[in-house]
Amino acid sequence: MSEHSKSNNIALIIVLVIVLIGAAGGAWYFLKYKPELEAKEKARLEQIAQQKEKEKKQKQAAENKAKYDNLIEQADSAFEQQQWQKAYGLYSEASSVLPNQDYCQNRLDLVRKKLDEQAAIQKRIEAGIVEMIDSKTGRFYVIVSSSVDIDLATDYALELMRQGYNARIIKDAGVKKLFNRVTVADYSTVEVAERESENYRALSEKVWVLKY
């Protein structure tokens, strides 16, 4: 074999080796390195997205809590002022911001009860009817008026009802049945009744508690 042929064969072998190395390198790059690189980048981007979503949720939760607290503060103020319809709206809005909060749900139950009482009172006012308590209950009643004249007691109770009080008349259970007492609230214990009776001093010079 001539020197020229040998040189050509060696060159061909070198070219083949280079091609094989290039093919192997290309296969490694496209089949292993690049997919691994893309997977790492995808994982990094997903981690960034998850962190942003977490921060977004935390921010939203903080904003919701602040909004809830503000609504509850306003609702509690309306509750203390016995503005039941306003309180109900504010507690309802707070409940929509943070559902299933025990405090808010308990307050909503109380306000619904007050609104139902108001509706019942309004019906009785329109009919000119005052609820009569004629049998003992064992509860402690705040009395703001006592009269032998049932018509006078009824008129006063209706006037109190128009002012928003849950006025009722306790009919004397004694033998002579002389007195008709107008009550505006009742409680389960004398301690609470005595304390709460101070809230009704503006209605009468003589406010007292009766167990009946």
pLDDT at 173: 58
Q: What percent of the chain has pLDDT over 90?
A: 49
pLDDT of 167: 93
At residue 73 the predicted structure's pLDDT band, cuts being 50, 70 and 90, is very high
- Render pLDDT for 21-57 as a digit per residue (tens, 0 to 9): 877 777 777 778 778 888 888 888 888 888 888 889 9
| Strand ordering across the sheet containing 208-211 | 132-133, 168-171, 180-187, 140-147, 208-211
pLDDT-based confidence at residue 82 (cuts at 50, 70, 90): confident
Alpha helix (H) residue ranges in the chain: 3-28, 34-80, 84-97, 102-127, 150-162, 190-197
Above 70 in pLDDT, residue 174? no
pTM: 0.57
Q: Which of 80-111 are b and which e, b meaning 16 or more Cβ less than 10 Å from the residue's Cβ?
A: eeeebebbbbbbebbbebbeebeebeebbeeb
The angle that helices 150-162 and 102-127 make with each other, rounded to 10 degrees, is: 130
What is the distance, to the nearest Å, from the Cα of residue 58 to the centroid of all Cα atoms in its chain? 19
Task: Check residue 175 and give its pLDDT.
Answer: 47
Tens of pLDDT, residue by residue over 101-141, are 999 999 999 999 999 988 888 888 888 889 999 888 999 99
pLDDT of residue 1: 53
Residue ranges of domains in the chain, CATH in brackets: 1-127 (1.25.40), 130-211 (3.30.70.1070)
What is the rounded distance in angstroms from the CA atom of residue 133 to the CA atom of residue 171?
Answer: 6
- Can you tell me the mean pLDDT for 174-187? 81
